[in-house]
Structure 1
Amino acid sequence: MITTPLTGDLIHGALELERTDVGLRVHRLPAWARAQAADAQLTMVESQPAGVRVVVTTTARHLELRALATRYTYRGAPARPDGVFDVVVDGALVAQGSLDGATLVTMDPRTGGVETTPGEVRAVVAGNLPEGEKRVEIWLPHQETLELVELRSDAPVQGVPAPGRRWVHHGSSISQGSNATHPTGTWAAVAAMTGGVDLLNLGFGGSAMVDPFVARTIRDLPADLLSVSFGINVVNADVMRRRAFRPAVHGFLDTVREGHPETP
């Protein structure tokens, strides 16, 4: 087996890779934006790699992705299903798997207390892949935090440039994936794969709050298509009324247009 360290040229759909004691933690917002929010909910969901995938070309028929997952649960509530990895070969979903074990963070909504049970690095395996040269995408779970360690394969792997047009989308849990059962089953992933575009999913569960730092992030990114979805989190968190919401949305869009005056 060949061991390949995971680096930015193999990972699509992330904005930042933070080096930890274990590996690379995936982020969908830059560090300066996370610092401006200083919000536990956003910190949790932006590190859940919705739309992020490891992309390589290879003749390998056996791949193993080693990582440490962090899963979140609420005391007294049923645990969510383990996060799913989707293996896509030349555009077709061929395999799925989950990590056998994870760090577990249990939150108590009554007291605000948090209890953490450490986990260990595990591997998700994709075997019996088709013969010959192929493009392999491993879509990461959209609702659990990951620290990526390495990729193992029975043949060399190479990074792949992203496809032509880049679609940047920002929204709530509906955009992150909400009740989707696997990462290529979220509506944003389905739309991107159908349209043949490179997805950057900035859907943040419970956190589409018309934040200026998200607008500045989008303003400064390369993008060929843009979309935003606002409303549900502003209402269910009761963060502003119509008088504040309307100019906030205009300000958000004006900031984005500073960097993308003509982008659809």
Structure 2
Amino acid sequence: MSSMDTWSQLVIGAAEVERTERGLRLHRLPAWVRRQFADGQLMAMQAQPSGVRLAFTTTATRIDLVTHPVRLAYRGLDRPRGNIDVCIDGELVLRDPLTGGDINEVDLQSGQTTHQPGQPHHTHLHGLSAGDKRVEIWLPHNESVDLVDLSADAQLQPLTTPALRWVHHGSSISQGSNAAAPTQIWPVVAAQQLGLNLRNLGFGGSALVDPFMARVIRDSPADLISVKLGINVVNLDGMRSRTFVPAVHGFLDTIREGHPDVPLLVMSPIYCGIHENTPGPGAIDPASLGTGQVRFLATGREGDTELGRLTLSVIRKLLEDVVKSRSDRNLHYLDGTQLYGEKDAVQLPLPDALHPDVATHRLIGERFAKHVRSERPDGSQEGQRSWLAQA
């Protein structure tokens, strides 16, 4: 067995591992999706390994990982680098900021992209205790990385301890936008608190009720499923009420083809002031260019919901109605404002008017974990068992 074959057995949370000239490239979506719909935004996001980690047990005292980052940058905007987080027996022992790597820089005014090659990045874990330990190397949520080399002074064994498999789909907030490190994104915060094995299908700008995404979820092993829908539909101005409602029904129908009884949670968007009552499309505020902090705005007209135009307030009502209309005792609805609401926005405003910061990611993750443990996950009097206990 080659080293690359060994490494691939340690990868958790990816759909596929592709061999390249550099080493191993991780994909969060399978090849058939990448062939069927090679959208540039989606392809860039699925290549960023949010929620993906190398996980193993070992007695090694020295572990060295070489990666080659590839990051997307925007001229005039200061975007923080990604990090690699290392946890041993559940405790964070190293947060390693990425260096080097390739840069694909986009000029937002001209649309042109320039490529700048760079050097690989080295992550060193030395002086570890010699006893048996569980190691998780969480890869960056906001930069692509190729795995170039992995070495240790003892054997690395794939994890064999079973854990409930949680498949989550959402937008850039679920991918981790504005979080500083891979274990700080809200799905990872929640997964660690609940002891769940996360498969993160959060894709920036790409939670658009796509049929292929429902098929990916349908075909993925899962004990728990959650889908967070709405914000990208609004800020793309991609649907109207007439098309959104049947699309959500079809999305859920497809998931149920593969998981007829798995607990399934439909989540509506968290509070976002710019889109609460104003349709999209969303756009970057031109006044924020060159300031170092991009901000977003809604370009629709406030209160304009004629002809089925969608705002977050409208979407929440539609999603709740969809869930209530289906005869599915394992289907539940969670209003996203229970995770982050209007009052929270006063204390913890969204820095760019769209995405939560580190503290807010933690708040959302903690509240989600609490909700999953609750005895009435759908908010009704009939729900007598926790969503988690149903698995």
TM-score range relative to shorter protein: over 0.9
Higher helix proportion (structure 1 or 2): 2
In 1, distance between residues paired with 2:179 and 2:157? 30
Secondary structure of 1:45 counterpart: helix
In 2, distance between residues paired with 1:31 and 1:162? 28
**2:167 aligns to what?**
168
In 2, distance between residues paired with 1:7 and 1:64? 13
- Between structure 1 and structure 2, the one with the greater Rg is 2
In 2, distance between residues paired with 1:61 and 1:35? 42
2:57·2:134 contact (CA, 8 Å) conserved in 1? yes
Alpha-carbon shift at residue 155 of structure 1 (Å):
2.1
Unmatched segments (≥5 aa) in structure 2: 264-391
**1:60 aligns to what?**
60
In 1, distance between residues paired with 2:111 and 2:124? 37
- Once the two structures are superposed, the pairs formed by residues 161-240 of structure 1 within 5 Å of their partners are 161=160, 163-240=162-239
The reply on whether 1:259 has 2:258 as its aligned counterpart is: yes
In 2, distance between residues paired with 1:162 and 1:68? 30
1:86·1:97 contact (CA, 8 Å) conserved in 2? yes
In 2, distance between residues paired with 1:19 and 1:31? 13
2:7·2:150 contact (CA, 8 Å) conserved in 1? no
Q: Deviations over 1:242-263 (max 9, x none)?
A: 1111111111010000000000
In 2, distance between residues paired with 1:124 and 1:113? 33
Bigger mean CA offset, 237-246 vs 198-207:
237-246
The reply on whether 1:148 has 2:179 as its aligned counterpart is: no
**2:84 aligns to what?**
85
Alpha-carbon shift at residue 136 of structure 1 (Å):
0.5
TM-score (norm 1): 0.95
Alpha-carbon shift at residue 99 of structure 1 (Å):
3.1
In 2, distance between residues paired with 1:89 and 1:195? 17
Alpha-carbon shift at residue 67 of structure 1 (Å):
1.0
1:163·1:197 contact (CA, 8 Å) conserved in 2? no
Instruction: Give the 3 Å change call, closer, same or farther, for CA 111–70 of structure 1 in structure 2.
Output: same
**2:246 aligns to what?**
247
**1:50 aligns to what?**
50
- Once the two structures are superposed, the pairs formed by residues 26-45 of structure 1 within 5 Å of their partners are 26-45=26-45
Secondary structure of 2:214 counterpart: helix
- Once the two structures are superposed, the pairs formed by residues 84-103 of structure 1 within 5 Å of their partners are 84-103=83-102
Secondary structure of 1:7 counterpart: helix
**How many residue pairs align between the two structures?**
261
In 2, distance between residues paired with 1:139 and 1:209? 27
In 2, distance between residues paired with 1:182 and 1:99? 11
Higher strand proportion (structure 1 or 2): 1
User: Relative contact order, CA 8 A, sep 6+: which one is greater?
Assistant: 1
Secondary structure of 1:143 counterpart: coil
RMSD: 1.4
Instruction: Give the 3 Å change call, closer, same or farther, for CA 162–227 of structure 1 in structure 2.
Output: farther
**2:69 aligns to what?**
69
Unmatched segments (≥5 aa) in structure 1: none
Q: Deviations over 1:57-110 (max 9, x none)?
A: 1111221111110011111212x2221111100111111113320100101222
In 2, distance between residues paired with 1:175 and 1:161? 27
In 2, distance between residues paired with 1:246 and 1:29? 25
Q: How much identity, in percent, do the aligned residues show? A: 54
Instruction: Give the 3 Å change call, closer, same or farther, for CA 23–157 of structure 1 in structure 2.
Output: same
Alpha-carbon shift at residue 111 of structure 1 (Å):
2.1
In 2, distance between residues paired with 1:144 and 1:60? 28
Alpha-carbon shift at residue 222 of structure 1 (Å):
0.9
In 2, distance between residues paired with 1:169 and 1:138? 20
Alpha-carbon shift at residue 158 of structure 1 (Å):
1.5
